[in-house]
Amino acid sequence: MIPSLQSECCLLNKFNLWVVMRRVSRLCAFAESCFKEKELTMDPTFRLFFQSDLSFEEILKFHHGHYAEDFIKNIWQTNGITRQLEQVEENNSIEENLISVGEAHHLLNK
């Protein structure tokens, strides 16, 4: 699942929605190809990027050894969710802010 773009998103103000969704589709295809590489999927930093809600800065801090050894264990015990769901989007549920790869392809083919 990919977060949907909000109407006030700066990308949509500067780019056509079709162009943005095409980029999202290609990014999804790239990510899927990355998941086929065993070396990548075994890398904790790669997994944190794709399977947690940590910020890029937090992932880099982990990568550089700024967190305790049990950091990853605690992340996986919460299924990658480190923040309260209300913090993700104040007015909408997570489900309202997600778009599937299939929906992205559908939008591209309109």
> What residue segments make up the domains of the chain, in order of their start?
2-108
Closest C-alpha among 48, 83, 73 to residue 63: 48
| pTM for this model (two decimals) | 0.50
Residue-averaged pLDDT of the chain: 71
Neighbours of 1 (CB within 10 A): 11
First to last CA, the chain: 20
Model confidence pLDDT, tens digit, residues 7-55: 555 555 666 777 778 888 888 888 889 889 989 888 888 888 888 888 8
For 98, phi and psi rounded to 5 degrees?
-115, 145
Taking residues 60-80, what's their average pLDDT? 82
Q: Who has greater pLDDT, 2 or 99?
A: 2
d(CA 57, CA 50) in angstroms, rounded, equals: 14
What mean pLDDT comes out for the span 56-77?
83
Distances (CA, A) of 14 to 5, 8, 33: 13, 11, 29
